[in-house]
Amino acid sequence: MNLLLVEDDPVLANGLMSALQRANYRVMHQDNGRLADQLLTVQEFDLVILDMGLPDMDGAEVLYRLRQRGSNVPVLVLTARNTLNDRVRGLDFGADDYLAKPFDLPELEARIRALLRRGSSGGSAPLQLGELSLDTTGQRATLRGEPIELLARELSVLKILMLRAGRVVSKELLCEQVSCEGEELSINAVEVYVHRLRKKLEAGGVNIRTLRGLGYMLEMP
């Protein structure tokens, strides 16, 4: 299971990362709200642990923007503020659970397990762009209702482009996000995957536009 921990307290973040990794979770850490928001637009996680008091963009805004993009990823909110209004605000913005600081690690782990069980029964909503649909849970894509045969990395590239449809995605970002653990992807390989993907989508009127020196943009005609 892949978790994103968004926490700006370095001592707490390091302690939580160590504990969660010992519990066999893969954990990525971000200490800045704006950067966490950007990361959540291009990468999917099984659960997000989100502090409310963050620099540049507070946790409530990160959560609001995440839900506005249609993401159903479970979010566990952490906060030093434990008033009723704070709890209601977090839940209204789309949090799935709420834990006030200070908290005991066993309680945090129990809530994570509960949210992951709840999330595994439903799955994320499919990504949709016109007649192009990507089921991120089942890892399959359809165009005009017909399945598209895609390699695993072609699916990963498509997911990133669909999550940022209408915006430029750099080749460097695609390299970083599509690379497997311990295996880096080259710019040339990304170009090959995009070329193959473009050929498979163009019959359905979906275009991957190349912006020289910048990257790619998924767009509809």
Q: Identify whether the C-beta of residue 132 lies closer than 8 Å to the C-beta of residue 113.
A: no
> Do 101 and 194 reside in the same domain of the chain?
no
Q: Using one digit for the tens of pLDDT, what is the confidence trace for 190-217?
A: 999 999 999 999 877 889 999 998 999 9
Considering its fold, how many domains does the chain have in total? 2
Q: Which of 120, 153, 177 is the last residue of a domain?
A: 120
> Do 80 and 179 reside in the same domain of the chain?
no
Question: Coil, helix or strand for 58?
Answer: coil
d(CA 142, CA 1): 26
Alpha-helical regions (H) of 69-186: 84-92, 105-120, 152-163, 171-178
CATH code of residue 78: 3.40.50.2300
Q: How many helices (H) and strands (E) does the chain have?
A: 8, 11
Domain that includes residue 165, residue range: 127-219
The pTM of the full predicted model, rounded to 2 decimals, is: 0.58
> Do 72 and 139 reside in the same domain of the chain?
no
> Do 194 and 136 reside in the same domain of the chain?
yes
DSSP-derived secondary structure letter, 203: G
> Do 100 and 144 reside in the same domain of the chain?
no
Q: Identify whether the C-beta of residue 93 lies closer than 8 Å to the C-beta of residue 25.
A: no
Question: Coil, helix or strand for 182?
Answer: coil
Q: Which of 120, 136, 166 is the last residue of a domain?
A: 120
CATH code of residue 156: 1.10.10.10
* CA distances (Å), origin 112, targets 6, 34, 49, 131, 142: 14, 24, 9, 35, 32
> Do 195 and 147 reside in the same domain of the chain?
yes
> Do 23 and 82 reside in the same domain of the chain?
yes
Q: Using one digit for the tens of pLDDT, what is the confidence trace for 149-191?
A: 988 888 888 988 887 888 888 988 888 777 654 466 788 989 9
- Positive or negative, the CA dihedral 174, 180, 184, 185 is negative
Q: Which of 81, 99, 120 is the last residue of a domain?
A: 120
Residue 121 banded pLDDT, cuts 50, 70, 90: very low
